[in-house]
Structure 1
Amino acid sequence: MNQAQVLTLPAKAIICEVAPRDGFQAEPEWIPTEQKVRIVRELAKTGIQMMEITSFVHPKAIPQLKDAEEVVRQVQDLEGIKLRALVPNIRGTQRAIDAGIKKLKLMLSATDSHSLSNANCLVEEAQEGFKPIIELAEKHRVKVGGSISVAFGCPFEGKVPLERIVTIVERYKQMGIDEISLADTTGMANPKQVFDLLGHLKEAFSHMTFSMHLHNTRGMALANAVAALQQGVIHFDSSIAGLGGCPYAPGATGNIATEDLVHAFSEMGIETGIQLEPLIRVAGYVKETLGHDGGSCMLQAGPSSQLHARPKNQQKLAD
């Protein structure tokens, strides 16, 4: 008789809320600064410990985030929560530092086609451009993390070869970056692919911390998160109410909903430090405020613990 296999998963996971950046940037209608700030404050009350608060991009590129400095200024009093921001260039880096941001995230594509669409340059050129950003951040003692968009599949080029990802990670390593976010920007990944890629990267770059940024375009985000957990990855991005989407990637939809990820992890006995019920209430408020959600199972069905009254003809079963 074969001994039953036991699924071993981490005891805890760290979730970074990215709706204030990734979620809001995809909204076509202007979200007033005071509404953004209120959503951030409500999210902070749920136990979320990390948040990607905005992106310091040029206002013409993403008008929705033109109030980046003001949003950051109005939430500086929040305690127990780490704020990071996405920066595309040296100018955005200086703006973020001046605003008081202590952690920056670089934006880089895995493929040249997506890079040309997103940053108007090839991948290697874009990555080389990070050197002055990193130097400026180090001067101000600001932490910098890397990222790789469309890491599991590009809407223009398809599957991304392992060798390309390894090359990009190696360049990051040479620049002194030890944290890298792997983004499934258009939801093209599958669990086996995630498991295999992370297994290779963790073996080849054992000193690095890898995190997952999963979009749920094809309903695979949660399965991919579990595959990452199986490789010992504990850092995940998610977006309240499933908001999000890349303006430069055709077909991109929202991130995995924070409330769905917290619920799933909780059901598997993985601690996140985030309170689910308040989180679901915030998701409902966000949906009411913006007029839609990006796909939230918790808003649709509620948590598994939420039971319903039995049909009248089954009441005898309770007696």
Structure 2
Amino acid sequence: MQLTNHRIKLNEVGLRDGLQLEEVIVTVQDKKLLYEMIKRAGVESFEFGAFVHPKRVPQMANSDAFYEEVISDAEQIALIGLIPNMRGAERAAAAGVKEVNYVLSVSDTHNLQNVQQPTNKSMEDLIGIHHYCKGKGIALHVSFATTFGCPFEGEIAAERVLELIGQLSELDIASITLADTTGMANPKQVEDLVRKVVKQFPEQRFRLHFHNTRGMGLTNILAGIEAGIYEFDTALGGIGGCPFAPGATGNVCTEDVVHMVESMGMKTGTDLTGLLEASGELAKIIGHETASYLTKAGPSSRRYPVPIAK
């Protein structure tokens, strides 16, 4: 594997995708504390919350209130709110949000579980949301869930993914995220699909979103880098998962990703020590250990004193 000189860009999703699977409802004050610690560590892009029905995802019910606390950063920091429909876009606009992420699933079955309609209807709705956001001066991102596999339908054909991306080619989409919603991807699959995507849509900005459900999250990131995508969703502590998909577990862990790529000579612009401090605070707030390897073992650069022979 050859190292790349590209800077790796991280979009921190712990405050949304991470917290949405936690039993505890994290307060606005604690969300702000985590946000400030992660920001001080150098992260410049956040998916800060979701404008969804509070009964379906109660952990996101205070997203409006949290955004009010950080809105002054919106000119320097990318603050992205997830939306599942037009109502979500309208709520985000009312809160003054400047960037939104519309999520839909490549898999019809997962889309029905997630937003109660088939994928083709969500694609139709996207056109109206695009026009609405453009009129409001809101940058529109799009995430395709279950890109690499669906827990209900199994493997997703690459042609299906390419077809859906192609339907967005005439729209002004800030970025498209290819999401491995329940950790079904493998490195060869990732590399093969990403090479096709970047070749067919060279002008489009892409992100990758991996879960570590089956322990392949970090290797999938390396496969994505090798194939030509350098932006990734990550979550502090490796927490999170989709509440509407069986077996879903945490996202790839921000501090573990930073440690891996920087150990290989790539740059993220973040301070690993600061991220580890934030991850420790996160564990206190949610009341349990996280999946972070780094908070347990420390970076590979750590040196221990040699034991004194007795």
- TM superposition score normalised by structure 1: 0.94
The Cα of 1:224 is off from its aligned counterpart by 0.4
CA–CA separation in structure 1 for the residues paired with 2:170 and 2:160: 16
- Equivalent residue letter for 2:53: H
**How many angstroms apart in 2 are the aligned matches of 1:210 and 1:313?**
54
Instruction: Output the aligned Cα RMSD.
Output: 1.4
| Distance in 2, Cα, partners of 1:143 & 1:77 | 17
Alignment pair present for 1:36 and 2:31: yes
The residue that corresponds to 1:65 in the other structure is 60
The C-alpha deviation readout for 1:41-72, integer Å capped at 9, x for no partner, is 11111110100010111111111111111000
Provide the secondary structure at the position in 1 that maps to 2:105. Answer: coil
Q: Which moved more, 1:177-186 or 1:50-59?
A: 177-186
Asked whether the 8 Å contact 1:242–1:293 carries over to 2, the reply is: no
- 1:7-48, CA deviations, whole angstroms, 9 ceiling, x for partnerless residues? 142431110100111011111222122111211111111110
Could you list the per-position Cα deviations for residues 158-183 of structure 1 after superposition, in whole angstroms to 9, with x for gaps in the alignment? 11011110111111223332521011
Which 4+ stretches in 1 moved above 6 angstroms?
A: none
Give the aligned partner of residue 238 of structure 1.
Answer: 234
Gaps of 5+ in 1: 1-5, 315-319
Cα distance in 1 for residues equivalent to 2:71 and 2:173: 26
Which residue pairs with 2:223 in the alignment?
227
1:23 aligns with 2:12: no
For 2:43, the equivalent position in structure 1 comes to 48
1:137 is the counterpart of 2:154: no
Aligned twin of 1:166: 162
Is 1:209–2:209 an aligned residue pair? no
Q: Mapping of 1:72-111 within 5 angstroms? A: 72-78=67-73, 80-111=76-107
| 2:143 maps to amino acid | S
SS at match of 1:130: helix
2:277 maps to 1:281 = yes
1:123 to 116, 119, 123: 119
2:162 and 2:189 mapped to 1: Cα distance? 15
CA distance in 1, matches of 2:198, 2:27: 42
Query: Helix, strand or coil for the counterpart of 2:301?
Result: coil
When Rg is computed on C-alpha atoms for both structures, the one with the higher figure is: 1
Q: Percent identity among equivalent residues? A: 37
CA deviation after TM superposition for structure 1 residue 102, in Å: 1.2
- For 2:38, give the aligned amino acid: L
* Structure with the larger RCO, 1 or 2 (CA within 8 Å, 6+ apart): 2
Equivalenced residues, count: 309
> Is the CA contact 1:41–1:75 (under 8 Å) kept in the aligned structure 2?
no
Matched, 1:190 2:179: no
Instruction: Name whichever of 178-187 and 188-197 sits farther off.
Output: 178-187
Question: What TM-score results when the alignment is normalised by the length of structure 2?
Answer: 0.96
- Find the partner of 1:180 among 176, 194, 212: 176
Structure 2 unaligned regions, length at least 5: none
| Whole-angstrom distance in 1 between the partners of 2:90 and 2:118 | 23
- Answer whether contact 2:12 2:235 (CA < 8 A) is retained: yes
In the alignment, which residue of structure 2 is the partner of 1:317? Answer: none
